[in-house]
Amino acid sequence: MIEGTGWLKGFVITFRNMLRGPITVRYPEHKLTLPERSRWAVQQRLNDDGSPRCTACLICVKECPDDVLYIETSAAEGGGKHIDRYVYEIGACMMCGLCVEACPFSAIEMSHEYELATRHGGDLVRVLLQDVDAASPRRERKGEADA
Amino acid sequence: MSDEPVTGVQSILPEGTQPTPMLPKGLKRVPSGVDQLATEHLILNVGPQHPSTHGVLHMLVELDGEEVIAAEADIGFLHRGIEKLAESRRYHQMGTILDRADYVSGFHTETAFALATEKLAEIEVPRKASWIRSLVMELNRCASHYVWLGPVGMDAGAMAPFLYLMREREMILDVLEAISGSRMMFNYVRPGGVVRDLPAGIDAPLRAWLAIADKYLGETEDLLGGNEIFRARMKGVGVIAPETALAFGMSGACLRSSGIDFDLRKARPYCAYGEIDFDVPLGTVGDAFDRYKVRVEEIHQSVRIVRQLLDGMPEGEHTSKVAKALRPPAGEVYAAVESPRGELGIHLISDGGPTPYRLRLRSPAYYNLGVADELLAGGLIADMIVSLGSLDIVLGEIDR
Amino acid sequence: MSLFLAILLRFVGLVALLLVNGVVLIYMLRKVLARLHLRIGPNRTGPWGLLQTTADVAKLLTKEDLRATPTDRLLFNTAPYLVFVPAFMAYIPIALSPVLVAAHLDTGPLFVFAVLSMVPLGVVMAGWASNSKWSLIGGMRAAGLQIAYEVPLLLSALGPVMIAGSLDPLRIVAAQSGTWLGFIPRWFVLPQIVAFFIYAIASQAETQQTPFDMSEAESELICGFSNEYGGMRFGFLYLAEFSNMFIASAVGTLLFFGGWQLPWVATPLWLAPIVFIVKVYIGIYFMMWARGSLPRFRMDQLLGFAWKVLIPVSLVWVVLSGVVIRLVSR
């Protein structure tokens, strides 16, 4: 390279890039696909019949470093646990995925729901389950083995 | 009062007031003096909301015209008490906060902590886990260097390279997201190994990046290092002598650009680095341009390392069996990795409980920034910005 | 047509030209830089984001007029106009075609450079009156820079003027009609290539663009002298900058690229303004391209470059071309 022509080469490179076209996308119209492991808002996994897989064992609650999960339980009529509310404070969640890792029943998962901006403070606390009977731990374990 | 003309600080203070005697010499809250032309020195607050302080750094700068007479770095705006928080986190949860210390290269902090814990609890790490760790760390090093190189070009006024480097960085972040589940807050490396094995099909995007990495970086090199203006801006600016670098405990590319060959990957090989072939680029002068050259060459070397790691990725388990409620025996260890900024060490003390008794983070950028007071005085404002940028500071890691 | 009406018409025409230019140039800068940066650029307001700058103007116009208390009220308020008015006046002698010109001045380019040399005054005033250290440094830089680069700018314009033998834009352009050797357009850029490069560099400095954007080096001085300005006052400073870009490119077109004339063929009168504007915009595109491709000089390097390289070179070039022109014309 001749000394003193470096800046000219810069012009060539920027021009080449001008021809390459944009790498950005127009966001709401075009969305990029997320990798399968992407961690976003926590959500419940339900059985095919719509019943929760959660057994209210509270492992996720204890596991969460930021205490964003909260489960209120009571005794169910036919024995076992009844979930009054499964509360998820998404506003304080950092999507680390430790709760999902810890769950022995695969009852929760990290969803790909990433459009989480909201105008209402109330949306920052979600009730994932309300007033349902918790799954029996034994049945769920078995279900895992079948799958 | 005598008839002598009032000079120095006295001349600009309100009449009758004395400069505060508590101020140590060289602390620049008030102008330290006036020059022969009796023009007042200017105290300039650079940051914490300034486009070129690379985060929330506050610089107190004393100016004579455009010339920097003295400068002082004021840190602490991003302090989140990470070391204290670590004392209430269990060992497998630690990644979540350590990612946030050095937020541009989270894998290095995570790995340093994992290495320390494994040393303490005497955990055997499978070979594959070590290789995966090395792989993600090298990718992260490239991402970090990209995001250093771009802004340093912006400090010098070149906007385009920043965007071009973002293109490559985006490819790496996509890969890291596919591997770990998050773009920057990975939470992937744990004591004993890594959380999950590499996903299937990760080879293709990685190879796609490897194919263009050297070529595109070459373009950026032509745009920056090949440009006469950029060279004139960087050469001879912010020279750090080897003795100064050692005296301030500097490490990483800042140290190597001064000609001192110290790279933890070679000096104390960890993870897979003992089996990998790569060079450690060294500088000669220790100026900002040398730091630029060293970092660019480090990216090229990282590309080489990633290629080898990918080709030789062993089969096997990605983690060894580690108890969830890990209680390492009481003791004290130190483990360090070569982060993009230098020696990133974790000093871990355990009292046998489920959480560390004390965790101390040796953050390399903190030591590298220490030299700022020495480095910045004497140049112009423009030099100050470039020298400061060339140190590669990450405030998340400095303030912790 | 009464004299008053004629003056009014010309005035309105100039204002329209300036405003439309400002709006178009800002949009163009954004799009060109976006392409260069691998981005899309404005794409929301109107088709292809065409209305983006219009929306920005509306925003600037309706914004609260803020002035910090410690600023110097009179100077702070006048400075934007002192920057804007010369930029506006510089449009007066720009001839879009042989007939389309606001006022036919015999000393066209000289007038442009003369009024533009008043801009640093406004910039320093803005920097000083803002009572902010950043603005002050920015203002001082701008003044030093513009004084240094005005000299080579003027000297580089001398070459074409000497060949044409006149300062009159019409005669300078007329002297560039026809061809050399039958196929090379008789544009002054060829014999005056060195002068053209000096002109290009100096005008990039006059318009304060990278690599000479000293006064608002954003990585150093955040926004330089316009730091404390908001609303339409900032709008005026901003508009002046873009209109200077147009002026620099227009004068360059007149001096070096044959003005409104097409190469090889005679230009019909109705086509002349279009040809001229297209040429000017091509010039502006190159300025924007340079802006996207180059890093910024340091202040001392910049002044050193102007005083130690550009001015001596342009002086020698003026003497050389004077001698050659004399020999050739004999």
Q: Quote the minimal CA–CA distance from A12 to chain B in Å.
A: 10
- The number of distinct structural domains making up chain A is 1
At residue A56, φ and ψ (nearest 5 deg) are: 60, 40
Sign of CA dihedral A90, A93, A96, A98: negative
Closest by Cβ to B52, choosing from C211, C220, C301: C220
A17 contacts B164? CB cut-off 8 A = yes
Band the pLDDT of B102: cuts 50, 70, 90. confident
Amino acid A145: pLDDT: 47
Residues in contact with A42: Cβ distance below 8 Å, sequence separation at least 6, in sequence order: A69, A88, A90, A93, A95, A99, A100, A108, A109, A110, A111, A128
**Would you list which residues of chain C are within 8 Å, Cβ to Cβ, of chain B?**
33, 36-39, 133-134, 137, 141, 210-211, 213, 217-222, 292-301
Q: Which chain A residues contact residue B91 at CB under 8 A?
A: none
Residue B311: exposure state from Cβ atoms within 10 A (0-12, 13-18, ≥19) = exposed
pLDDT digits (tens, 9 = 90+) for C28-71: 888 888 888 888 888 888 888 888 888 888 888 888 888 888 88
Angle at which helices B288-311 and B381-390 cross, to 10°: 20
Of all residues in chain A, the percent with pLDDT exceeding 90 is 1
Asked if C47 is an interface residue toward chain A (Cβ–Cβ < 8 A), one would say no
**Residue B82's beta-bridge partner residues?**
none
Instruction: Report pLDDT for C193.
Output: 84
- Helices (H), ranges, B18-126: 82-86, 95-98, 106-121
Cα C32 from chain centroid? 18
Find all residues with CB under 8 Å of C327, minimum gap 6, and list them: none
Burial class (CB in 10 A: 0-12, 13-18, 19+), B206: buried
Say yes or no for a CB contact (<8 Å) between C222 and B229: no
B-contacting chains (≥3 CB pairs under 8 Å): A, C
Residues B199/A36, Cβ–Cβ less than 8 Å: yes
Number of domains in chain C: 1
How many C-beta atoms lie closer than 10 Å to residue B117's C-beta?
25
CA distance linking residue C56 with residue C62, whole number of Å = 10
| Amino acid at residue number C327 | L
- What was the ipTM of the complex prediction? 0.84
Chains adjacent to C (≥3 CB pairs closer than 8 angstroms):
A, B
pLDDT in the model for residue C270: 79
Please spell the DSSP secondary structure of B130-143, one letter per residue.
HHHHHHHHHHHHHH
Give residue C216's pLDDT: 67
* Residue B10: per-residue pLDDT: 53
* Gap between the Cα atoms of C165 and B202, Å rounded: 70
Among candidate residues C215, C203, C238, the one with its CA nearest the CA of residue C83? C238
**Is A11 in contact with C293 (Cβ distance < 8 A)?**
yes
d(CA B342, CA B110): 15
Above 70 in pLDDT, residue B29? Answer: no
Please indicate whether, in this complex, the C-beta atoms of B187 and A110 are within 8 angstroms of each other: no
Report the residue of chain C nearest B160, measured CA to CA. C37
Residues B7 and A137: their CA atoms lie apart, in Å, by 83
Residue boundaries of the structural domains of chain B: 24-74, 82-399
CATH number of the domain that A116 lies in? Answer: 3.30.70.3270
Q: How far is it, in rounded angstroms, from Cα C259 to Cα B319?
A: 73
Which of C133, C213, C298 shows the shortest C-beta gap to B233? C298
The residue range of the domain holding A123 is 42-136
Please report the number of interchain residue pairs, chain A to chain C, with beta-carbon separation below 8 angstroms: 33
Alpha-carbon span C330 to B84, nearest angstrom: 88
Do residue B159 and residue C37 have CB atoms under 8 angstroms apart? yes
Q: What is the pLDDT of residue B25?
A: 47
Distance CA C293, CA B159 (A): 8
* Chain A residues in contact with chain C using a Cβ-Cβ cutoff of 8 Å: 7, 10-11, 13-15, 17-18, 20-24, 26
Backbone angles phi, psi at C75, to 5 degrees: -65, -40
In this prediction the pTM is 0.85
Task: Return the residue matching tokens 């023009």.
Answer: B39
Work out the pLDDT band at A18, boundaries 50, 70, 90. Answer: confident
Closest to B227 (Cβ–Cβ): which among A6, A17, A110?
A6
Taking an 8 Å Cβ-Cβ cutoff, which residues of chain B contact chain C? 42, 44, 50-52, 66, 153-160, 163-164, 167, 223-224, 227, 229-230, 232-233, 380-383, 385
Helix, strand, or coil here: A128? strand
Q: Which residues of B touch C34 (CB under 8 A)?
A: none
Q: How far is it, in rounded angstroms, from Cα C125 to Cα C74?
A: 10
Residue ranges making up the domain that contains C53: 3-329
Which three-class secondary structure state does DSSP give residue C116? helix
Q: Which two tokens stand for residue B222?
A: 């032509």
Domain B82-399 carries which CATH code? 1.10.645.10
How many residues does the structure list for chain A? 147
Report the pLDDT value the prediction gives residue B30, as an integer from 0 to 100.
52
